[in-house]
Chain A
Amino acid sequence: MAGGITFTAVDSTKLATAEIFGRTIAELGAENPNIVCISPDLATSTKMADFLAKYPERFYNVGIAEQNMIGIAAGMAKSGLIPFASCFSVFASLRALDQVHTDVCYQNVNVKIIGTHGGTSFGQAGSTHHAIEDIGVIRPLVNMTVIVPADGIETANAVKAAAATPGPFYIRINRGFDNVVYSTPDYGFKVGKAVVMNEGTDLTIIACGSCVYQAMQAASMLKHDQGLSIRVLNMHTIKPIDREAVLAAVKETRKIITVEDHTVIGGLGSAVAEVVVEGGKACAFRKLGLQDKWSAIGLHEDLLAMHEIDAEGIVKNVLEVMKMDFEADEDWGDEV
């Protein structure tokens, strides 16, 4: 990839994830004059201000009109630009879905959608502003790549990868600050390739977004308190999903828990389940996330706990799944 991302862990603790996106896109804008930004009255919220300040002629505020934003982006991409269209994940995925479907994905154009305020990260705004179905809604769209970065540095990596890769991308980031997962951008981020955060053989936790940090905390607690060996995968790319990593988790650990700040229908858990089932090898399996219900209003951290997708909730579920039997209780004879 051209150019270096200049963020470090120190920066990333000081910057909200969207701010890191904003800085990254401003840096990319310097490298590539075809990059433009579009926002539906959210330049401030989605932190495109840096880009706007540097390249006002390449910034378009379309007012509160997400459908129009996506349609314009598709038209721009048809004419050789690389538009980054950013708005709240819930509106990018639901309000503008028809445009994302037909104008962007059907035509397979080079539009990058940055969905902010992902999951329940805008907790206090309530369900009108929570994006708990976006992955499930966007994931089936043909040609679309779906990425849910774990933190600010991974967001920068994802945005750079999206700019460098032709075709539609949906990148879902959170409102506010993310717990720092990566201290350096050079950890081998590759679209479609899960990152092994922790090696283990007793069970695999497959997480995305803010849940990656929680899963790592959970794995650490489980190791120290229970002596369990937990593999943690950061499945930052939901589509195309890393089938190899999922199948290895089935084969090698035989127990999988998925964790996402999203409904358990259609998101990461479903994507992983599809691979597991097609793999033809049984495993104990549980999906953590919103269990087909609306979230309460509250602080993001509190909501993660309510939905058992924080470290404590993950620990509780891991201990339950460790006891789950999925195989016939075989003959425990010894080979002679």
Chain B
Amino acid sequence: MAKEVKITQSDLYAARIFFYAAIPLLKVICESEPKFGDKFIGKNFVFQISALYDKAEGGKFATHFVVEDGKWTTHVGAIHEKPDVEFEFSDLKKFIIFFTGKGMPLPKIKGILKLGILVPVLMALLRMAGLMQAKDKPEKFEDQIMLCKLYLYLIPNGMSQLNKLGHPDVKAVTGISPDRAYALIIEGYPELQSWIRMKAGKTMSGRGEYKRCKPFLAMKFKNPSLALDILMSKADMVQYIREENLFVDGAPEFGGTVGNLMFTVAYYALGTYLDEEK
């Protein structure tokens, strides 16, 4: 196989979502689940995930975490020169195949001897992958909540990343938008909320309640299990709205807009585009 790997615009969108929105969820796992997070108490290190890409500044894309006594700080899209542990993919395509779960092209692991860091990091990563790459909804309620959180934190951020990279379908929505927010809400769980704010082409995303104003549109799921049915494409949204499992609060005619943006994010995050490229 030639060393030359063709990187498409779609790869760049997918990579952006992973580096900026998906990989950061590792911190969410560690902060939400003591079983994983407690392993880092008393430890200080830098962990980085990167993929070589010669057109990128510094020759690669990276996101790294600085952990100080178990407290995580995320540096998206930033290269750390001397991480203690680093997973480095030899090219962007492999990175995407790995993270979409479409294959297991293993990265080069730097700092492999630092087992005290590597093992708990791997465990947390596997926890995240186990939840997000599963085809079916987890059975355990705590797992459902955790997965909801990961999806909810990923989706608006993913939309915002595509916007920032100038994805035309996303820009078409955000470019003409007045200052508005779209929110995802699972009722009864204040932490299971997220949002994207857009205004004349600019976007930002966040977690928890949107406090600036009332969201222009909020998709309110009745509970975590029903939310996963929709988020994992196991159920028909229209039917769920009819059955009141999902309540669209706000201009209903914009429900489709949000749906399309969600599908766009999924299209890259699930690697659907890779299948189409074949």
Which of B91-99, B197-205, B236-244 touches A? B197-205
| Given A202-B178, A229-B251, A322-B178, A333-B213 contact (CB < 8 Å) | no
Which chain B positions have C-beta within 8 A of A227? 251, 253
Q: By the criterion CB–CB under 8 Å, are B161 and A334 in contact?
A: yes
| B255 in contact (CB, < 8 A) | no
Which chain A positions have C-beta within 8 A of B206? 334-335
How long is the Cα–Cα vector from A252 to B180 in the complex, in angstroms? 11
Across the two chains, which residue of chain B brings its CB closest to A199? Answer: B250
How long is the Cα–Cα vector from A201 to B179 in the complex, in angstroms? 10
| B216 in contact (CB, < 8 A) | yes
| B222 in contact (CB, < 8 A) | no
| Chain A interface extent, by class | 10 to 19
Q: Which of A89-147 contact B (CB under 8 A)?
A: none
| A187 in contact (CB, < 8 A) | no
Binding site secondary structure of chain A:
loop
Q: Which of B196-243 contact A (CB under 8 A)?
A: 202-207, 212-216
How long is the Cα–Cα vector from A254 to B210 in the complex, in angstroms? 13
Q: Which of B153-211 contact A (CB under 8 A)?
A: 157, 160-161, 178-180, 202-207
| Given A332-B203, A335-B206, A253-B213 contact (CB < 8 Å) | yes
Across the two chains, which residue of chain A brings its CB closest to B197? Answer: A332
**Set B21, B157, B214: member contacting A201, Cβ < 8 A:** B214
How long is the Cα–Cα vector from A269 to B16 in the complex, in angstroms? 47
Q: By the criterion CB–CB under 8 Å, are A251 and B213 in contact?
A: yes
In the assembled complex, how far is the CB of residue A222 from the closest CB belonging to chain B, in whole angstroms?
11
Binding site secondary structure of chain B:
mixed
Q: Which of A213-233 contact B (CB under 8 A)?
A: 227-229
Which chain A positions have C-beta within 8 A of B27? 336
Q: By the criterion CB–CB under 8 Å, are A229 and B21 in contact?
A: no
Produce 1/0 per residue, A302-336, CB < 8 A to B: 00000000000000000000100000001111111
Which chain B positions have C-beta within 8 A of A333? 204
How long is the Cα–Cα vector from A227 to B214 in the complex, in angstroms? 17
Q: By the criterion CB–CB under 8 Å, are B251 and A334 in contact?
A: no
In the assembled complex, how far is the CB of residue B66 from the closest CB belonging to chain A, in whole angstroms?
13
Q: By the criterion CB–CB under 8 Å, are B216 and A332 in contact?
A: no
| B20 in contact (CB, < 8 A) | yes
| Given A201-B214, A332-B202, A229-B250 contact (CB < 8 Å) | yes
How long is the Cα–Cα vector from A333 to B214 in the complex, in angstroms? 20
Kindly count the residue-residue contacts between A and B in the assembled complex, taking CB atoms under 8 Å apart: 52
Q: By the criterion CB–CB under 8 Å, are A334 and B21 in contact?
A: yes
Which chain B positions have C-beta within 8 A of A332? 202-204
Q: By the criterion CB–CB under 8 Å, are B213 and A254 in contact?
A: yes
How long is the Cα–Cα vector from A109 to B269 in the complex, in angstroms? 71
Q: By the criterion CB–CB under 8 Å, are A335 and B178 in contact?
A: no
Across the two chains, which residue of chain B brings its CB closest to A252? Answer: B214
In the assembled complex, how far is the CB of residue B40 from the closest CB belonging to chain A, in whole angstroms?
18
Q: By the criterion CB–CB under 8 Å, are A254 and B157 in contact?
A: no
Which chain A positions have C-beta within 8 A of B125? none
In the assembled complex, how far is the CB of residue A79 from the closest CB belonging to chain B, in whole angstroms?
51
| B24 in contact (CB, < 8 A) | yes
| B74 in contact (CB, < 8 A) | yes
**Set A229, A254, A335: member contacting B205, Cβ < 8 A:** A335
How long is the Cα–Cα vector from A145 to B37 in the complex, in angstroms? 60
Q: Which of A251-277 contact B (CB under 8 A)?
A: 251-254
Q: By the criterion CB–CB under 8 Å, are B178 and A334 in contact?
A: no
Q: By the criterion CB–CB under 8 Å, are A228 and B178 in contact?
A: yes
**Set B207, B214, B215: member contacting A335, Cβ < 8 A:** B207
**Set A201, A330, A334: member contacting B180, Cβ < 8 A:** A201
Q: By the criterion CB–CB under 8 Å, are A202 and B205 in contact?
A: no
**Set A253, A322, A330, A334: member contacting B160, Cβ < 8 A:** A334
| B76 in contact (CB, < 8 A) | yes
**Set A201, A229, A254, A334: member contacting B204, Cβ < 8 A:** A334
**Set A251, A322, A330, A336: member contacting B214, Cβ < 8 A:** A251
In the assembled complex, how far is the CB of residue B220 from the closest CB belonging to chain A, in whole angstroms?
14
24 sampled A-B residue pairs with Cβ under 8 A: A201-B213, A201-B214, A202-B178, A202-B179, A202-B180, A227-B253, A228-B178, A229-B251, A251-B213, A252-B214, A254-B179, A322-B178, A332-B202, A332-B203, A334-B21, A334-B157, A334-B204, A334-B206, A335-B204, A336-B20, A336-B21, A336-B24, A336-B27, A336-B76
Given A201-B213, A331-B204, output 11 extra A-B contacts at Cβ < 8 Å. A201-B214, A202-B216, A229-B216, A251-B213, A252-B214, A253-B214, A334-B21, A334-B160, A335-B157, A335-B204, A336-B74
